[in-house]
Structure 1
Amino acid sequence: MSDRYEYVPHRLLRRRVRDIASGIEGELMAVINENVSDAGVERWMELAYIRGASGREFTTSIANVQPA
């Protein structure tokens, strides 16, 4: 696959979630399967984009996301 990312459907989109790694809560805005390759080794990772109370978005592994 040559694309650098693709959107992934998720049951918690547009819902309040918590990042268990940081404890921060916010709204799940998107889940994207991103190509995080380096040094020629292809590696894909599903990242959650969460918008916190400040309005800024941050990313975390989708495995760290739970309903708030």
Structure 2
Amino acid sequence: MNTVDSLGHEWDPRIGRRVRDIASKGEGELTAIVREKVSGNGDESMYARLAYIKAANGIEWSTAPDNIQVLR
């Protein structure tokens, strides 16, 4: 896993690149990979990693980071 900042954003070399979400087949720019809290408190907290993609038409969606394929 990459370095995570105080807001839960991970550094990733693919951010800002054109990518395809292999799950939805949607394409756009990878804008962020974030660790988001999904349940629990304190040491019992559980987190999910989500990748955010923004299409040329402005629609943004999330997917699993493993679903990201960089386009040339």
Q: TM-score, normalised by structure 1?
A: 0.82
Secondary structure of 1:11's partner? Answer: coil
- Structure 2 match to 1:32: 34
- Structure 2 match to 1:67: 70
* Identity %, equivalent residues: 41
1:46 maps onto 2:49 in alignment: yes
Structure 1 gaps, min length 5? none
Specify the code of the residue in structure 1 equivalent to 2:11. Answer: P
RMSD, aligned CA: 1.5
1:56 maps onto 2:59 in alignment: yes
1:43, distance to aligned residue in structure 2 (A): 1.9
Please list every run of at least 4 consecutive aligned residues from structure 1 whose deviation after the TM superposition is greater than 6 angstroms.
Answer: none
Secondary structure of 2:15's partner? Answer: coil
> Whose strand proportion is higher, 1 or 2?
1
Structure 2 gaps, min length 5? 1-6
Q: TM-score, normalised by structure 2?
A: 0.78
Aligned length: 63
1:37, distance to aligned residue in structure 2 (A): 1.5
